[in-house]
């Protein structure tokens, strides 16, 4: 039997909000979709089987971190990232550009060589070119590969954003050439342009000319306000290709996701549910719960009585409060799993309401609550 090539189809719409189906040779992905972040070949504090049981259909891993530790050779000798981490789900890998910007204390951008930087771990010098980023991602055997881009810091300096945009478009062309032809895998371009509408539209036009399998929106979630992010999404929603997945990188809160879906976005990733879970913040349909708060010391009700997976409602707020205030690892594990499950419940509800034509009502009910 031949392997299924990568494809995407919009299946229903309500205004700009839409559901869709991505097909990969590893399985189907129903959109809008949230991708748990497995930065270093693990979604922190959770088992991969539990990730799958939440309803997750794809996860994200990080090229920058994996190239530093454990290194590409070790993963290739394990026959790729899926076997290495025992994950049967499709995996998207980012290019490493954002981490070069955010983690390296000493980095230099060279138009031809790429990003020249020192590891945040041991100071070792690395050069990450568009071609090397694609080579690493193909070596990891990821299913969705991201082009190498420069992710600029949030700034009102239009000249700097324009220079960064031009560099990213040049690197996008080089990434496409390095990727070559592979019907089983997908290569996504990344739209840049900061908060400037004309630059965003210029980026889209240039990326569409190159022709990618999907289009991500980068350079957001870097310090701008939610309204600024939504303004960018409003400016591009009529210009993003209709028949390709749209991915908002590094976003975000439940309200971020609701607002972005309303503006036509299909794919999301963020460390928020796992990072919050490890620090005692839970997301529920009634709002956020800081389980460390003293008011939960004698609260024997479950965190979410409607949770039907994993038996998580067997644990009281009282008990979870105790686990976090005594630094017990189980607390982080339980809340991380709860949050990941909540995010998948949210995505399932979003898809259901778009299909029923009730997403606007759902958005109004929960946007300011979650």
∠ Cα 66 342 340 (to 5°): 15
Q: What angle do CA 115, 268, 308 make, to 5 degrees?
A: 140
Secondary structure (DSSP) of 106-135:
SEEEETTTEEEEE-TTT--EEEE-HHHHHH
- Under DSSP, is residue 16 helix (H, G, I), strand (E, B) or coil? coil
Measured CA to CA, the distance from residue 362 to residue 19 in angstroms comes to 15
Residues 6+ away with beta carbon under 8 Å from 265: 32, 217, 233, 246, 247, 248
Q: At what angle are helices 329-356 and 359-366 packed, to 10 degrees?
A: 140
What are the Cα distances from residue 95, in Å, to 134, 175, 252, 336? 8, 10, 19, 26
Catalytic residue among 50, 94, 238, 299: 94
Active site residue 269: yes
Give the active site residue among 149, 269, 299, 306. 269
Angle (CA) 62-45-310 rounded to 5° is 120
Spatial separation of the C-alpha atoms in residues 294 and 282, rounded to whole Å? 15
Q: What angle is formed at CA 251 by the lines to CA 286 and CA 115, rounded to 5 degrees?
A: 155
Collapsing DSSP to helix, strand or coil, 180 comes out as: coil
How far apart are the C-alpha atoms of 67 and 63, rounded to whole Å? Answer: 6
Report the C-alpha gap between 20 and 143 in whole angstroms.
18
Of 115, 108, 174, 185, the residue nearest 147 (C-alpha):
174
Which residues are known catalytic residues? 94, 269
């Amino acid at each position: 039997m031949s392997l299924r090539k990568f494809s995407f189809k919009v299946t229903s719409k309500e205004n700009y909000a839409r559901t869709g189906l991505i097909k990969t040779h590893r399985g189907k992905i129903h959109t809008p979709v949230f991708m748990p972040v497995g930065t270093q070949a693990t979604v922190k504090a959770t088992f991969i089987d539990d990730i799958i049981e939440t309803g997750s259909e794809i996860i994200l891993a990080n090229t920058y971190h994996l190239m530093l530790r454990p290194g590409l050779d070790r993963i290739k000798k394990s026959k790729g990232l899926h076997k290495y981490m025992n994950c049967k789900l499709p995996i998207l890998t980012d290019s490493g550009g954002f981490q070069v910007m955010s983690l390296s204390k000493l980095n230099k951008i060279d138009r031809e060589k790429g990003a020249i930087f020192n590891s945040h771990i041991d100071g070792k010098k690395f050069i990450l070119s568009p071609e090397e980023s694609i080579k690493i991602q193909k070596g990891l055997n990821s299913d969705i590969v991201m082009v190498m881009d420069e992710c600029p810091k949030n700034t009102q300096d239009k000249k700097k954003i324009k220079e960064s945009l031009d560099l990213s478009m040049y690197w996008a062309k080089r990434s496409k050439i390095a990727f070559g032809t592979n019907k089983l895998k997908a290569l996504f371009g990344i739209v840049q342009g900061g908060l400037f509408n004309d630059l965003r539209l210029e980026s889209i036009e240039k990326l569409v000319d190159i022709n990618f399998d999907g289009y991500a929106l980068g350079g957001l979630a870097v310090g701008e306000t939610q309204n600024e992010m939504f303004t960018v999404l409003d400016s591009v929603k009529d210009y993003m290709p209709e028949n390709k997945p749209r991915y908002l990188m590094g976003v975000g809160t439940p309200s971020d996701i609701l607002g972005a879906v309303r503006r036509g976005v299909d794919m999301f990733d963020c460390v928020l549910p796992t990072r919050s879970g490890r620090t005692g913040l839970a997301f529920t349909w009634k709002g956020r719960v800081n389980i460390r708060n003293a008011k939960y010391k004698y609260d024997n009700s479950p965190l979410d009585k409607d949770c039907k997976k994993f038996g998580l409602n067997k644990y009281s707020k009282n008990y979870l409060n105790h686990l976090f205030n005594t630094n017990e690892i189980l607390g982080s594990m339980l809340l991380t799993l709860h949050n990941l499950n909540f995010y998948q419940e949210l995505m399932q509800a979003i898809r259901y309401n778009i299909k029923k034509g009730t997403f606007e009502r759902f958005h109004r009910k929960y946007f300011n609550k979650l």
